[in-house]
Amino acid sequence: MGKIISILLVATFAMILNGCSFKPVQRGVKDKDAEDTQTDMSQEGQGKDDASYGLEQDGALTIKSLDDPNSPLSRRVLYFDLDSASISAEDRETISVHAEFLSAHPEISIILEGHADERGTREYNLALGEKRAKAAEQLFLLQGVSKTQIQIISFGEERPVALDHNETAWRLNRRVEILYSGY
Amino acid sequence: MIKKIIVLVLLSYWISFQAHAVLTIEITQGEDAGAPIAVVPFSWTGKGAPPEMIHEIIAADLRRSGFFNPLAEKDMLAKPDSAQQVKMKNWRAVNVDAVVVGNITAMPDGTYQVRFQLLDVYKGTQLAGYSISSRKPQLRRTAHQISDIIFKKITGQRGAFDTHIAYVTSSIDRKKQRTYRLAVADSDGHNEQTIYESRQPLMSPNWSPDGKNLVFVSFSRKRPEIYIQNILSGEIKRLASFKGINSAPVYSPDGKRLALTLSKDGNPEIYTLDLKTNKLYRITRSSAIDTEPTWMPDGKALVFTSDRGGSPQLYRIEVGSTGPVGRSKRLTFDGKWNARAAVSPDGRYLAMVHREEDKYQIAVQDLKTGHFRILTNSRLDESPSFSPNGSMIIYATEDNYRGVLAAVSVDGRAQQRLSLKSGDVREPAWSSYKQN
């Protein structure tokens, strides 16, 4: 009986821990569950938050661009070679676009979430995910984004987006996601 | 090669709402290589069916070790239950070296008396004989203890059947929600119990040497943090939640310290944490990735993974109670990729994940002779962990891309596989001996 109680206590505690944890910060998510991401993006895009920033100079990226699928800001994933944290020329451009936007909006912050593919050991991949996110962070900082606007998280190989076990899937999983909090 | 599958149905006597896993053990190699032994069915004195098939548990233990090849029941010419009844010629006729006989008696107070004798068929002598008082929930454990005695008498080496394994499982429910569980089971996969559950990934379980606590990494707050849990009371404590990575926790052999990886100072470095004073000591200083520490059995050095040379290799560094002593020394030179070391309890062998072309396999390096050997041949093997007697290595592998556990003897001869019926199982950690 004592055993059952202790196990229930553990289960309860685990639930409490989960309950206290902050919500996933993902594209388009505010304080709702991650599952609502898709609908949030389309509905809240036209929300009143946008208006408060107003239009900026010609060609400048506005807050609204965050929800515009045609905006260069919609590219939010950087990809890597196996066991590598070097950033490709193409992804450098992606970073530049975001860096320009973030420099103009110091009130907005991002999470750089690093990931690895399933190959190699889990702990090493956790470190590799962080190394990738930090490599991206360096480029953001060089382009004038404040360190306070960036948070680094690594999930290693624990959160693959592609579940197959081939190079096509691995390429998609070796990534850094640029996540805007609140957008 | 004969394949034998033993399906073990686990009891779900606690938390009825939790879907319970079924672990299957499959001996994949080495069944016929071991010493021939007969484990005769134990007789039963009591009402109804015997409370536990003790002889089957013992035979399965011995077979799994790779050191024994138990005789099939149908090939036994007689089924004695005590030494007096054993006719040695019956056993010489079927070419076994040793016979185990025994009986179980129900006692008036509800307990059971388990008696067994181990006999040398050729010398005609008794090698061991014990009478053990047990209770229903402990009968499987009693069987494992008997296996340990037999193993010790015949191989001269301590058995590791009366031990536990911890591992992480991951499954997806009907709503496509993923659940991660930290589970503990007997060394034969029985009596699985979930001790921690999360919607977020769990990683890197490691046992305290006294078997009372597990330390592990949880993403329950959306980032890797280290927790410590008493597996009996369920009491849980967050141990490290610095900025960046908090991971790869490993108990020192005396249980007083942890080695761990933190990236709070910029990039992943190895630290030790004094569990009494809560003081941290930084061990490595390099701009590369340093992670996956493990202790040498004397507690005076750590082996860890570092890519400071360009790709992951294993290094060794001496540590004192307040930091490093001396500099890191590279240990592995076979191949371009070696990581996640485990050290055998006698300090002689270094098990690791070794990349050979596109395959990640378990390899062992003899630290005395330098001899290097690849033990497995799958696509993606991970997380080697030695049994406390050093004879087996349990590791994570896959079967049709599904995560399963496997064990291999250090000489590569015996192999077995433990898989869940659904979902993935990974990151096995073998406990130390139980401390009674």
**CATH number of the domain where residue B415 is located:** 2.120.10.30
Tens-place pLDDT, residues B276-297: 999 999 999 999 999 999 999 9
ipTM: 0.89
CB A134 within 8 A of CB B268: no
Alpha-carbon span B246 to B203, nearest angstrom: 11
Q: Are residues B213 and B263 in the same domain?
A: yes
Confidence of residue A58 (pLDDT cuts 50, 70, 90): low
Choosing among B204, B219, B265, B287, which should be mutated to test the A contact, i.e. which has the most A CBs within 10 A?
B219
Element (H, E) at B119: strand B112-120
Residue B258 and residue B355 in one domain: yes
User: A112 near A63, Cβ under 8 Å?
Assistant: no
**A101 to chain B, minimum CA–CA distance in Å?**
25
- Residue B336 near residue B356, CB atoms below 8 Å: no
Same domain? For B191 and B258 the reply is yes
Residue A5 lies in a domain: no
Total domain count, chain A: 1
The CATH number of whichever domain residue A143 belongs to comes to 3.30.1330.60
Q: Which of A14-28, A67-81, B154-168 has the lowest mean pLDDT?
A: A14-28
Q: At what angle do helices B139-155 and B54-65 cross, to 10 degrees?
A: 40
- Residue B24 confidence class, pLDDT cut points 50, 70, 90: low
Nearest CA in chain A to B180: A158
Instruction: Let me know if residue A166 belongs to a domain.
Output: yes
CA distance B400 to B380: 11
What's the burial of A71, exposed, middle or buried (CB within 10 Å: 0-12/13-18/19+)? middle
B230 shares a domain with B114: no
Number of domains observed in the structure of chain B: 2
- Determine, yes or no, domain membership for A9: no
Q: Round the average pLDDT of chain B to a whole number and report it.
A: 90
Contact at 8 Å (CB) between A113 and A126? no
Q: Whose structure tokens read 């991002």?
A: A110
Whether B383 and A127 lie within 8 Å, measured CB to CB:
no
Considering the domain architecture, whether residues B198 and B77 belong to the same structural domain is answered as: no
pLDDT in tens, B35-55: 999 999 999 999 999 999 999
Listed range (A35-49, A73-87, B135-149, B343-357) with the worst mean pLDDT: A35-49
- CA atoms of B229 and B202, how far apart (whole Å): 13
CA angle at B233 for the pair B232 and B238, rounded to the nearest 5°: 110
A151 lies in a domain?
Answer: yes
Between B343 and A6, name the one with better pLDDT.
B343
| Domain assignment of residue A115, given as a range | 25-181
Question: What tokens appear for B401 in the block?
Answer: 């891309």
In a domain, B436, yes or no: no
B248 and B150 inside one domain: no
| Whether residue B72 is found in the same domain as residue B98 | yes
Collapsed DSSP state (helix, strand, coil) of residue B31? helix
Q: Which residues of B touch A20 (CB under 8 A)?
A: 221
Mean pLDDT score, B186-192: 89
Least confident of B12-16, B196-200, B203-207, B274-278: B12-16
Considering only CB atoms, which chain B residues are within 8 Å of A9? 234
- B151 & B197 share domain: no
Are B10 and B74 within one domain?
no
What's the rounded Cα separation, in Å, for the pair B50 and B55?
Answer: 11
Q: Are residues B93 and B197 in the same domain?
A: no
Model confidence band, residue B412 (pLDDT cutoffs 50, 70, 90):
confident
Look at residue B20 in the predicted model and tell me its pLDDT: 43
3-state secondary structure of A132: helix
Separation CA A55–CA B139 (nearest Å): 76
> Is A3 a domain residue?
no
CB atoms A14 and B201 under 8 Å: no
B401 belongs to a structural domain: yes
What is the rounded CA–CA span in Å between residue B236 and residue A130?
27
CATH number where B73 lies? 3.40.50.10070
Is residue A129 included in any domain, yes or no?
yes
Tell me whether residue B272 is in a domain: yes
3-state SS record for B152-209: HHHHCCCCCCCCEEEEEEEEECCCCCEEEEEEEEECCCCCCEEEEEECCCEEEEEECC
pLDDT reported for residue B189: 86
Q: Are residues B351 and B263 in the same domain?
A: yes
Q: Is the pTM of this model over 0.80?
A: yes
| Position A157 in a domain | yes
For the ranges A36-40, B178-182, B399-403, the lowest mean pLDDT is seen at A36-40
Which of A12, A113, A122 best tests the B interface by mutation, with the highest count of B CBs <10 A?
A: A122
Whether pLDDT at B30 is above 90: no
Q: Does A125 fall in a domain?
A: yes
Work out the pLDDT band at A181, boundaries 50, 70, 90.
confident
Point out the domain boundary residue: B134, B155, B176: B155
**Pick from B122, B155, B188: which residue ends a domain?**
B155
Position B411 confidence tier, pLDDT thresholds 50, 70, 90: confident
Residue B239 above 80 pLDDT? Answer: yes
Interface check A126 vs B, CB under 8 A? yes
**Residues of B whose CB is below 8 A from A13:** 234, 236
Q: How far is B236 from chain A (nearest CA, A)?
A: 8
Query: Average pLDDT for residues B174-189, to the nearest whole number?
Result: 91
Q: Which of residues 42-81 of A touch B (CB under 8 A)?
A: none
What is the mean pLDDT of the segment spanning A15-33? 36
- E strand segments, B241-347: 246-251, 257-262, 269-274, 280-282, 290-295, 301-306, 313-320, 323-330, 338-343
H or E element that contains B146: helix B139-155
Residue numbers of the domain that contains B50: 32-155
pLDDT in tens, B103-132: 999 999 999 999 999 999 999 999 999 999
| Boundary (domain end) residue, out of B116, B137, B155 | B155
Q: Is the pLDDT of residue A98 over 90?
A: yes
The answer, for A155 touching chain B at a CB cutoff of 8 Å, is yes
Quick check: is B435 in a domain?
A: no
3-class DSSP state for residue B142?
A: helix
Q: How many CB pairs under 8 A join A and B?
A: 120
For residue B120, the distance in angstroms to the closest alpha carbon of chain A comes to 42
Of chain B, the percentage scoring pLDDT greater than 70 comes to 91
Residue A28 DSSP SS3:
coil
Q: What is the pLDDT of residue B173?
A: 87
Residues B139, B207 within the same domain: no
Please check whether residue B346 lies inside any domain of the structure: yes
Gap between the Cα atoms of B22 and B9, Å rounded:
6
